[in-house]
Amino acid sequence: MDHRRLSMTDIAVGEPLPWDVYGTDKKLLLRKGQVVQNERQVEVLIERGLYIDAQLAGSLSSKRAEPPPKILELPSVLRLINLVNKRLERLLYTFNSEPDMEAKILEVVKALEHAGNMNPDIALGCVLLNQEAGSYAVRHCIDTAIVSWAVLRAMRKPPEEITAVMAAALTMNLGMLRMQDQLQNKSEPLNEKEQEIIKKHPEESVNLLRQAGVKNEQWLSYVLLHHENEDGTGYPRGKDAGEIPQNVKILAIADRYCARIANRKYRKTLLPGLALRDVLVSGGKTSDPTLAAYFVKEVGTYPPGSFVRLQSGEICVVTGRGASPTTPTVHAIIGPRGAPLSFPIKRETSKQLHGVREAVSAEQASLRFSLQQLWGQEAAL
């Protein structure tokens, strides 16, 4: 029997296993039909490096490409992203002791791509609405990978380039991972030692990746160059615009954008539209007009997960990108007089009454709600 290693995208929480699961010694551990109850069980199965019948898995994959029969529960983008978060955290913090690290990171990339393909708007919405899931250092890498993926996909980049950029996003801060968590609680300016670690972290990250057996040169070069600036003021090599590959520029813009919209104790959180403009325009000059246009179109002035006030006075959550960057799909959660609504109501922002008046902060839209209320079962925990 030909075996294939189990991956995160093979398992749906709450659904029967469609194949038998085998251990590394090829002994049967779980029978077809058993139900995986929660994310922790998925983590354990993946961590143990279990296997399934490759031929059967392939036949099931081909069947799933056909129109599926009616199902009671859809896979959840949110659950998969949270699983990716836990998996990546374990890998990054045990990097020196993990075998087959390149393959394991690429497995995480594949799962994250799968989540994005299931529903891009939910994946982007998680960047803003799911920031409490895990540590900032790990979460930021995932957010950067999601935003990069959205732009790379829109530009129709080759699959191998998309994979390399996403892998770089997930591992770009290996060289300062633990310090990044510590900086969350720091209010005073960085000292010289901290500044030195930050300046050297691209090179240190590459060194750690090479030591772990990563040989993909695109991936390694993207990590090395992700803090270079087009005016030559970046680090560690001080390269100018002509020496920086376009994919690196995409990664760098996504990295800076996600940092500016994240909840940080030592830095003011910017509204998404302002954050994107701040990153794309420096000194009154747009760094790369082509990339700027793609970021505005795919991320937008009002990205999924952000909050807006309509001309009607209602406060809404943006749940999808619309026909233009200024006419997103939204769901009202607070009425025109400030009272919470019983359930989210979809509004058409292309209509005058429900046009977007302004972006508002999460604090201004202070109301507890679940992502499932906005997007349904695909955003269930």
Domains of the chain are 3-64 (3.90.105), 77-298 (1.10.3210.10), 307-379 (no CATH)
What whole-number distance in Å separates Cα of residue 308 and Cα of residue 306? 7
Q: Provide the residue count of the chain.
A: 381
Instruction: Give the tens place of pLDDT for each residue, 275-300.
Output: 999 999 875 566 789 999 999 999 98
pLDDT at 373: 95
Instruction: Give the tens place of pLDDT for each residue, 231-272.
Output: 888 999 999 888 999 999 999 999 999 999 998 766 678 999
Please identify which residue in the block is written with the tokens 């949110």: 78
pLDDT at 380: 93
pTM: 0.86
Q: How confident is the model at residue 69 (pLDDT cuts 50, 70, 90)?
A: very low
What whole-number distance in Å separates Cα of residue 344 and Cα of residue 306? 15
Residue 87 neighbours by CB distance under 10 Å: 22
What whole-number distance in Å separates Cα of residue 140 and Cα of residue 155? 23
Which are the contacts of 54, defined by CB distance < 8 A and separation ≥ 6? 2, 3, 4
Does 22 have pLDDT greater than 50?
yes
Range with the poorest average pLDDT among 47-51, 129-133, 358-362, 372-376 = 47-51
Closest to 363 measured CA to CA, from 322, 334, 326, 324: 334
For range 361-369, the mean pLDDT: 88
Residue 63 neighbours by CB distance under 10 Å: 10
Starting at the earlier edge strand, list the strands of the sheet with 21-22: 3-5, 51-53, 21-22, 28-30
Is the distance from CB of 174 to CB of 217 less than 8 angstroms? no
Does 98 have pLDDT greater than 70?
yes
Residue 136 neighbours by CB distance under 10 Å: 18
Please identify which residue in the block is written with the tokens 């994959």: 61
DSSP per residue, 182-247: HHTT--SPP-HHHHHHHHHHHHHHHHHHHHTT---HHHHHHHHHTT--TBS--SSS--BGGGS-HH
What whole-number distance in Å separates Cα of residue 317 and Cα of residue 126? 12
